[in-house]
Amino acid sequence: MRKVFSKPNSMKDTVTHYCPGCGHGIVHRIICEVIDELGIREKVIGIAPVGCAVLAYDYWDFDVTEAAHGRVPAVATGIKRVNPENIVFGYQGDGDLAAIGTAETVHAANRGENITIIFVNNAVYGMTGGQMAPTTILNQKTSTTPLGRDRKTHGFPLKVCELLSVLPGVSYAERVSVHSPAHVLKAKKAIKKSFQNQIDGFDFSVVEVLSPCPTYLGMTPEKAVKWIDETMSKVYPLGRFKDRGKE
């Protein structure tokens, strides 16, 4: 009998600190699978954000640093420009990328930095205790939108892939999800492409991953994945927004 599925080599044995049913563990793993498959572990430099994924370096078995809140794309720019041979990727949550770090994100994308950004969107702030994220959907209750997100008070959910895909420096923007095995496989394909693009010198690639946060959605893991399928992915439609290849 042959082992057909096991932990990727680029992933450490450490048990994650994530809550049961949290999507971060899946995204961490598929990034490691992609790094193994592309044979780039010894060239990769990952950048962890501020947010739940700040401890990603405890789970990834390659060089990793940690940026100040929102500054991942700027740090990635510095690393990649100094040595373009390194494969540099940033891992960011919705607060890190789409709130405090919006300027860094938009400008790294607009400069066409040859980096990969994995954007984990779970529509809520996890680490600080379930507050509204820029991607919280209308009427969604969080600890700072107790009556639900109201557009007059809190504005609209921010659509990152749609926003970034209009920038000429962006080569690739795709929104995927990890709420079912089939979606995880598609997400992995997109992440693999975003790394391959960087290897091929295609400029900025971003993959937005819809990911369950059962704890702060106030749902069981089962209901959380169902919520992504039936509600969240209607606000954030899955699919490829841009794939221009090399310019």
**Which of 34, 35, 44, 133 lies at the binding interface for other proteins (CB under 8 A)?**
44
From the CB of 55, what's the least distance to other proteins, in Å? 8
Q: How far apart are CA 32 and CA 234, in angstroms?
A: 29
Q: What x/- string results for residues 91 through 110 when contact with other proteins is judged by CB under 8 A?
A: ------------xx-xx---
61 binds other proteins (CB under 8 A): yes
Q: Least distance (Å) from other proteins to the CB of residue 227?
A: 13
Written in H, E and C, the secondary structure of 82-131 is HCCCCEEEEEEEHHHHHHHCHHHHHHHHHCCCCCEEEEEECCECCCCCCC
For residues 26 and 158, which CB has a smaller minimum distance to other proteins in the complex?
26
Number of CB atoms found within 10 A of residue 137's CB: 18
Q: How far is the CB of 64 from other proteins (least distance, A)?
A: 5
Query: Binding segment for other proteins among 4-12, 161-169, 197-205, 236-244 (CB under 8 A)?
Result: 4-12
By the rule CB under 8 A, 189 interacts with other proteins:
no
What is the torsional sign of CA 140, 54, 74, 82?
A: negative
Which one of residues 24, 149, 192, 193 is an interface residue with other proteins (CB under 8 A)?
A: 24
Q: With residue 45 as reference, give the H or E element that holds it.
A: strand 44-48
Of 11 and 132, nearer to other proteins (C-beta) is 11
Angle at 212 between CA 163 and CA 134, to 5 degrees: 35
| Residues pairing with 90 in the sheet | 47, 117
